[in-house]
Structure 1
Amino acid sequence: MKYLPFCLFFLLVIGCVEKDTYQPVVDRDAIVDRINYIHDFNSAEEFDTTELMGLQHDPGRKDYKIVLTDYFTNVLKQEMESFQTMSTTNNLRHILVITKDKVAYRVDLKQWEEFQNIWTVDMYGTADIQQ
């Protein structure tokens, strides 16, 4: 018990020490520019009409965010750090994904209006963004 005041003082000092929490600013514009130069894409999910008809009963296929997350987790075995939509057209959504290991992906998701607006991963390409 004679060390109790010393221990409390020590804990107080350690708890008050500032930690270096500096995080460099991420230039997402540079990442988007780099991703736009990808011309080598991998095809992703390919389904025939029968499979698409079956997928329209999967509620997870109605939300592109769930489709994107499931694809990265289960197929690519990658952990996403962040994602953002870069652009959309009639039935396509172009998304920038950054993984925990600092690889950028451009992912194109397709929405199938004729199959109750389900989403599938159409294709993806990668670019290393580590400095």
Structure 2
Amino acid sequence: MITVLTILCAFLMNLPYCCHCNLDHHWLSPFDNTTEISALCTNENHDIVMLKRGVPMMYNLFRHDVMCWLEIQRYVPPRYNQLIWFLQSLGYCDVNREINWRRRGVEYNRDFQLKITRAAFALVCYLCYHRVLGFRQRDI
């Protein structure tokens, strides 16, 4: 049985994954960019994503049109660029398009989205730390 965690791990670890096991399908993860990940995995972003005080900001970001903007550098303060990049990489623009959250009377519960974001953030950042430590041990 394929679980959500299996799919998420394959997505984050840059493994080719497809639902029908078609080995001709190759997919490159956006999380293969170590520069972006190093800028993402900071204490400030950790506090925003993982701690309770960051929840209102995360919910606002989930709903914001910035998820679908290509050039965020001109419109978003630099300290949030990597966080927006991360959320865009998780496909939250497509989520917003499907949900159409502005429709009156319809409210989407974003608790699941917050939990997936936290899990993805932890996996990406801890995997990055693991890679760095692995490279350092090889050099010794």
TM-score between both structures, scaled by the size of structure 1 = 0.26
* Structure (1 or 2) with the larger CA radius of gyration: 1
TM-score between both structures, scaled by the size of structure 2 = 0.25
Which structure shows the bigger proportion of residues in strand conformation?
Answer: 1
Which structure shows the bigger proportion of residues in helix conformation?
Answer: 2
